[in-house]
Chain A
Amino acid sequence: MEVKVKIADMAVLKNSGLLVTVGLGSCVGIALYEAKLKLGGLAHILLSTSEHLSAEKRKDMNPAKFADTAIPHLIDNMKQEGARPQNIVAKIAGGSQLFEVSQEEMRVGNRNVEAVRQKLADCSIPLVAEDVGGNYGRTMKLDVSTGEVYISTVGRELKVL
């Protein structure tokens, strides 16, 4: 089974199958895994923080859009499936710069990666592997039976985290 995670989206899957998110540029993919339960979660975030949003906008916002809201939300979703937070580890990918002259883009990619690292630390989730930065897009697949993360790109070899 393959479950697709779109932009600003997240999903949880148990026992076997792949969680897949295609095309991480400046966005960051966050794979969380609880080995004992063979339980995986994957989020595809666009931006680092939701802090600028008004209280009203916050009410019906999509938490998967921002690093600071996506990570706690994904942890909660995994808890509902029986995960213990202290058993969860993280692997992340993305935060690259695709366009040649965009200063703003470089800032966005870096900021996203930094925000994800910070939020994982805040939630006491160890970051065990990452494939971030560079100037190319990535597709990320989490195999929930093993916890392995596969990174594919255009014209580069498959990488396993």
Chain B
Amino acid sequence: MVPDKSELTPEQQDMLRELVNIGIGNATTSLSRMLSNEKVTMEVPEVEVIPLQEVNEYVEQEKAIAAVFFEAYSDEFSLVLMFVVPVDSALTLANKVLQAESSSLGEMERSALMEVGNIVTSSYLNALSDMTGITFQPSTPSLAVDMAAAIFGTVMVTTGLVDDHLILCQTALETEKDNISGNIFVFPYQGLGYMFELMGVS
């Protein structure tokens, strides 16, 4: 549940940015490893409280994307994770992992993407567990390839992230050689108060 005030103190924003940062460092390392150690750069995570209605304003709405998402639960704190890449990057990524040169996202390419999304997001979660001491229970990851706005709306509805405000943490990634670009989205949705307390910023 997002605080009613729909505001975060600067300390809380920093804490969330840090939380995201640490996980994403891990995630980019594992992405790089899957791409034969190609260098992956990441930007500083953006943390914002946004009205639910604005969630689609953060993506190119009608652009086709591939997205892997899953939920991670614990008694203390839960979140939704999404690994999002534009379709052209998704194809490059799948081909690179499969060492193939396919021209479309077929069954094989989709499985490869799912696997990449799975590894990237679980390495994120591992870092988060190490830092907080919380053991997360991840749901089965799921893949969709479709227009960005439809995917985001569907993830919000499916996971029950439908309060009037939500916290959006976004980090952009890019690979050096192949120009694979992507984003990792983290939406904390339960136990944020616990997390703030744990980190001493409540």
CA–CA, A17 and B157, complex, Å: 29
Number of A-B contacts (CB under 8 A): 98
Q: Which residues of A contact B156 (CB under 8 A)?
A: 7, 46
Contact of B153 among A27, A99, A154 (CB under 8 A): A27
Which residue of chain A is the closest to B144 with respect to CB atoms?
A98
Among the 9-residue stretches B47-55, B95-103, B123-131, the one with 4 or more Cβ atoms under 8 Å from chain A is B47-55
B148 at interface, CB cutoff 8 A: yes
Asked if A108 and B158 sit within 8 Å, CB to CB, the answer is yes
Q: Which residues of B contact A65 (CB under 8 A)?
A: 52, 162
Which residue of chain A is the closest to B64 with respect to CB atoms?
A154
B56 at interface, CB cutoff 8 A: yes
Contact of A99 among B53, B56, B142, B152 (CB under 8 A): B142
Interface of chain A: mostly helix, strand, loop or mixed? loop
A6 at interface, CB cutoff 8 A: yes
Asked if A100 and B149 sit within 8 Å, CB to CB, the answer is no
Q: How many residues of B contact A (CB 8 A)?
A: 29
**Given the interface contacts A22-B62, A23-B61, A62-B164, does A101 sit within 8 Å of B154 by beta carbon?**
no
Asked if A26 and B144 sit within 8 Å, CB to CB, the answer is no
A8 at interface, CB cutoff 8 A: yes
Output the least CB separation between A13 and chain B (Å): 18
- The 3 tightest CB contacts between A and B, nearest first, are A23-B149, A137-B150, A25-B154
Using CB atoms and an 8 Å cutoff, list the residues of chain B in contact with chain A.
52-57, 61-62, 64, 69, 110, 140, 142-144, 146-154, 156-158, 162, 164
Known: A26-B153, A98-B151. 8 other contacts (CB 8 A): A6-B53, A7-B56, A99-B142, A99-B143, A100-B110, A104-B158, A105-B154, A154-B62
